[in-house]
Amino acid sequence: MNDVDFSLAGATAAPTQILIAPQAVLRQKARIVRPEDMDTLKATLPGMFSAMYAAPGIGLAAPQVGISQRYVIVDLGDAEDRQPIVLINPEILTESEVMTPREEGCLSLPNQYAEVVRPEAVRVRWTNVEGERCEREVDGLLATCIQHEIDHLDGVLFVDHLSTLRRNMIMRRLAKEQKLKH
């Protein structure tokens, strides 16, 4: 099975529950995925794709569903044209000097958005679901998305790129909205 197969399986799988900040696992540094983790990892993918598509979102990191391991899924496509990528043990190799501001949100911080400045392009290396090493230069929205998801593996949220004042404002607003929901 490849990325597309797992994404298709996500169309019928029950969505995995996405954790909302301030859950402790979202602040932990996730551990490296080892070869012996691959079978259980693959079993989590359909539910993760299902949750991401249902949200809807364009990226989801394993810690967001309570799994403190280094893998993420992204898909910038739509229902008619899926473009799923599963990145296992992803690493940023190089970053462009050009920085770009882009509005970001996060499935673990529902309804909260802010402009974050990040490198416009990055070279990223990862292992795919078939165990092969991949390397690719990405830019634009995909670069932003991958950087945002890799941040999750280090316990970093997009609000950490903002001033303390803005971050506290967003986290307070999120807490208030979540309280109203329950």
Nearest to Zn ion of 10, 57 (CB atom): 57
Q: How far is the CB of 75 from Zn ion (least distance, A)?
A: 14
* Annotated catalytic residue 36: no
Nearest to Zn ion of 15, 38 (CB atom): 15
| DSSP run (H or E) holding 88 | strand 84-95
| SS percent in the chain: helix, strand, coil, step 5 | 40, 25, 35
Nearest to Zn ion of 85, 106 (CB atom): 106
CA distance 163 to 132: 39
**Residue 182 known to bind ligand:** no
**Residue 148 known to bind ligand:** yes
Q: How far is the CB of 92 from Zn ion (least distance, A)?
A: 16
Q: How far is the CB of 48 from Zn ion (least distance, A)?
A: 13
- Positions touching Zn ion (CB under 5 A) are 106
Active-site hit among 36, 115, 149, 177: 149
Which residues does the annotation mark as catalytic? Answer: 149
- Which residues are documented as binding site for Fe cation? 106, 148, 152
